[in-house]
């Protein structure tokens, strides 16, 4: 292999002109001669690698990491408040006394924090303390009267669903005799997916519906169904009644009026602390996994040998103009006569 030096004709190297042509005699196939251009300078290689890394940075991973960190902050703050409430409750029960109104103030503080769950976790923590990032938190619910048993019994019927009012498109589900549970779930899920509603089979074989927490109020207030007069006798579009899955923590049910209420509240606080700890572990794992994917996504930096660095310096120094002067002067910074003599003395 030969290194053929090229330079600009002006005597002063133009930007980007100082390159080397690598000619491989074994690869000459056109007119007995072929060449490829290789950009060797280490600085240029480092800059290209940096740009490559930035261009390949996964914005979704950035969002996942940010959501996880924000959710962890929220969970830690919530745990700290519950620990303080637990201490106040235990002290009041042990001494049958305590600072007036302190327990109630702690309950109000956590209640306010719990109401901020959606915004404080960037919409990534649902009411059951399930971490959902990068998907948004979901609200699960059931529809009264729409049971698996009622759907598997009776004749064929087409159920038409509407979300958002009469002007919205209808989503139809064809119910036929002999359908399995999985087939029924699949038909509901496909039909309602365009309306932002998912359907799955619950632990007890029931239909479980879900939608994003942001859309829940609209779904709850406008979801309607029309049948053929079989499962829904009127045969007209009518609003359905939904039941939301209860939240994992319900501070509005914590009472402090008497000793029994304090004991019940203390028990619920202890359970809530355990749930928060489990959620923290889950989010910490998600954060570690997202961070690991970011690390694996970064470009592998190629090692630059000292021989390559020496060749680059020799090439740059041999070129006329300011760039060669800059390369030489930069290399000589900090080199004194004493250092040179000391290095020569090592031989």
Cβ atoms 242, 143 nearer than 8 A: yes
pLDDT of residue 236: 85
122 with 264, same domain: the answer is: yes
Residue 231 lies in a domain: yes
Using a pLDDT cut of 90, give the percent of the chain over it: 52
pLDDT tens-digit map of 117-157: 999 999 999 999 999 988 899 999 999 989 999 999 889 99
Query: In what helix (H) or strand (E) does residue 20 lie, and over which residues does it extend?
Result: strand 20-23
Say if residue 9's pLDDT is above 80: no
Residue 160 lies in a domain: yes
151 with 228, same domain: the answer is: yes
* CATH number of the domain within which 98 lies: 1.20.58
127 with 269, same domain: the answer is: yes
27 with 84, same domain: the answer is: no
Last residue of a domain, one of 220, 240, 260: 240
Which of the 8 DSSP states describes residue 98? -
50 with 83, same domain: the answer is: no
Which of 144, 121, 148 has its CA nearest to residue 132? 121
Cβ atoms 224, 237 nearer than 8 A: yes
- How far apart CA 168 and CA 194 sit, in angstroms, is 11
pLDDT of residue 62: 83
Order of all β-strands in the sheet with 224-226: 171-175, 157-162, 224-226, 238-239
Residue 208 lies in a domain: yes
pLDDT of residue 228: 86
Q: Which domain holds residue 290?
A: 59-131+249-296
pLDDT of residue 101: 85
Which of the 8 DSSP states describes residue 11? S
36 with 47, same domain: the answer is: yes
Residue 137 lies in a domain: no
Pairing status of strand 171-175 against strand 198-201: unpaired
260 with 125, same domain: the answer is: yes
Say if residue 41's pLDDT is above 80: no
157 with 210, same domain: the answer is: yes
310 versus 301: the higher-pLDDT residue is 310
Residue 138 lies in a domain: no
Total domains in the fold of the chain:
3
pLDDT of residue 23: 37
Structure tokens at 169: 């498109």
- How far apart CA 165 and CA 222 sit, in angstroms, is 6
Cβ atoms 74, 125 nearer than 8 A: yes
- How far apart CA 212 and CA 126 sit, in angstroms, is 9
Least trusted range by pLDDT, from 271-280, 311-320, 337-346: 337-346
149 with 189, same domain: the answer is: yes
Residue 21: C-alpha distances to residues 33, 35, 39, 40, 51 (Å): 12, 7, 9, 10, 24
Calculate helix-pair angle for 306-317, 322-332, nearest 10 degrees: 130
pLDDT tens-digit map of 252-273: 999 998 899 999 999 999 999 9
* CATH number of the domain within which 161 lies: 2.60.40
pLDDT of residue 311: 76
- How far apart CA 23 and CA 29 sit, in angstroms, is 12
pLDDT of residue 327: 59
- How far apart CA 9 and CA 20 sit, in angstroms, is 15
What is the greatest pairwise CA distance in the chain? 104
Report pTM: 0.65
Say if residue 98's pLDDT is above 60: no
105 with 188, same domain: the answer is: no
pLDDT tens-digit map of 268-303: 999 999 999 999 999 999 999 988 887 776 655 555
201 with 176, same domain: the answer is: yes
Which of the 8 DSSP states describes residue 144? T
Residue 109 lies in a domain: yes
Residue 140 lies in a domain: no
pLDDT tens-digit map of 169-179: 899 999 999 99
Query: For residue 38, what are the β-bridge partners?
Result: 20
- How far apart CA 131 and CA 282 sit, in angstroms, is 7
151 with 184, same domain: the answer is: yes
> Residue 245's pLDDT band (boundaries 50, 70, 90)?
very high
Residue with tokens 């979300």: 163
Residue 189 lies in a domain: yes
């Amino acid at each position: 292999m030969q290194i053929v030096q090229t330079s600009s004709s002006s005597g002063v190297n133009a930007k980007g002109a100082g390159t080397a042509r690598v000619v491989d005699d074994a690869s000459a196939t056109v007119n007995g001669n072929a060449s490829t251009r290789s950009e060797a300078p280490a600085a240029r290689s480092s800059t290209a690698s940096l740009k490559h890394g930035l261009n390949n940075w996964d914005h979704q991973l950035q969002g996942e990491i940010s959501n996880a960190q924000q959710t962890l902050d929220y969970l830690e703050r919530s745990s700290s408040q519950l620990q303080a409430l637990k201490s106040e409750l235990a002290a009041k029960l042990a001494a049958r006394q305590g600072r007036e109104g302190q327990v109630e103030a702690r309950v109000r503080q956590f209640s306010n924090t719990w109401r901020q769950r959606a915004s404080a976790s960037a919409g990534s923590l649902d009411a059951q303390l399930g971490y959902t990032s990068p998907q948004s938190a979901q609200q699960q619910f059931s529809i009264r009267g729409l049971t698996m048993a009622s759907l598997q019994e009776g004749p064929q019927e087409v159920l038409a669903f509407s979300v958002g009012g009469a002007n919205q498109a209808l989503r139809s589900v064809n119910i036929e005799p002999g359908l399995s549970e999985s087939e029924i779930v699949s038909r509901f899920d496909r039909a309602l997916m365009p309306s932002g509603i998912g359907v799955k089979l619950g632990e007890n074989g029931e239909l479980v519906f879900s939608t994003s927490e942001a859309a829940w109020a609209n779904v709850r207030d406008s979801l309607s169904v029309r049948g053929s007069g079989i499962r829904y006798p009127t045969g007209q579009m009518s609003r359905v009644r939904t039941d939301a899955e209860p939240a994992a923590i319900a501070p509005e049910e914590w009472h402090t009026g008497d000793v029994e209420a304090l004991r019940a509240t203390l028990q619920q606080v202890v359970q809530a602390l355990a749930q928060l700890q489990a959620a923290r572990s889950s989010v910490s794992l998600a954060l570690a996994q997202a961070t690991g994917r970011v690390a694996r996504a970064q470009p592998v930096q190629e090692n630059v040998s000292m021989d390559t660095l020496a060749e680059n310096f020799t090439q740059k120094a041999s070129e006329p103009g300011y760039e060669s002067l800059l390369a030489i002067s930069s290399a000589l910074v900090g080199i004194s006569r004493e250092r040179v003599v000391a290095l020569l003395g090592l031989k």
